Amino acid sequence: MPTVVGKRPLVEGDVLTPTGVALRDVREQLFDASDRILLRDGPTGLTSRAVTAEAGVAKGVLHKYFADFDAFLAEYVLARVHRMDAEAAVLNDAAGTGTVVDNVAGSVTALFQSVAVAIVALITFRDELRARLRETWPAGVPVLTEGAMMIGRYLGEEQRLGRVAADADVRTLAAVLIGSGHLLFADRTGARPDAAAVRHMVSTVLAGVTI
């Protein structure tokens, strides 16, 4: 007779928490736990024991799915980078509507109010993690480089629509916007910059470029 979890049989691939609850997607459960730890405790608090405890699973579960903790962290970082695809789609859809400055300011705020700033700090904090990421991400810091590409594509679309000057170097502008945004949000313990501060930064970078 099969083991029953809740109202359904336990199937291959389920992982049980100490209370007997089945986790159908334990990887995402562990990634979500990492988000909470990073936002609460910063990169120094992110350990394999902290992750499994936060996720409510047995200590050995993480190593069932990943070769070691840095392999786990590398996949975690890349999974969070891929989440930015949805934000990129929203930003691209905004091309031709509202103002360029407001659209970029909103995107920068959404990016850096997420776990992104803590992930950048994590990558900086762990040498082995950076080495692992180099295997699949050959240049730059994930999150920052993806953010710059996202904004660069958006500015390119606005350029095509005639709302950004034809001779503007949108790739360089995007890199400056992401770097400046990171500086605004980098202090995890301080007050978050308000909307006016973000908009001022964006409008300064794009001064003379938007039409």
User: Two tokens at 82?
Assistant: 């891929």
pTM reported for the whole predicted model: 0.79
> What are 32-83's pLDDT values in tens digits?
999 999 989 989 999 999 999 999 988 888 988 889 999 999 999 999 888 8
3-state secondary structure at position 4: strand
In angstroms, the CA 164 to CA 158 distance is 6
Confidence of residue 24 (pLDDT cuts 50, 70, 90): low
Nearest-angstrom CA–CA distance, 19 and 21 = 6
Residue ranges covered by each domain of the chain: 8-65, 69-211
Architecture of the domain made up of 69-211: Orthogonal Bundle (1.10)
Residue 138: what pLDDT?
62
pLDDT at 203: 97
CATH code at 8-65: 1.10.10.60
**What's the pLDDT tens digit per position in 174-183?**
999 999 999 9
Query: pLDDT band for position 23 (50/70/90)?
Result: very low
Nearest to 78 by CA among 142, 31, 122: 142
**pLDDT per residue as tens digits for the range 42-51:** 899 999 999 9
Q: Give the 3-state secondary structure percentages of the chain, helix then strand then coil, rounded to 5.
A: 60, 5, 35
69-211 has the same fold as 8-65: no
* HEC assignment per residue over 30-84: HHHHHHHHHHHHCHHHCCHHHHHHHHCCCCCHHHHHCCCHHHHHHHHHHHHHHCH
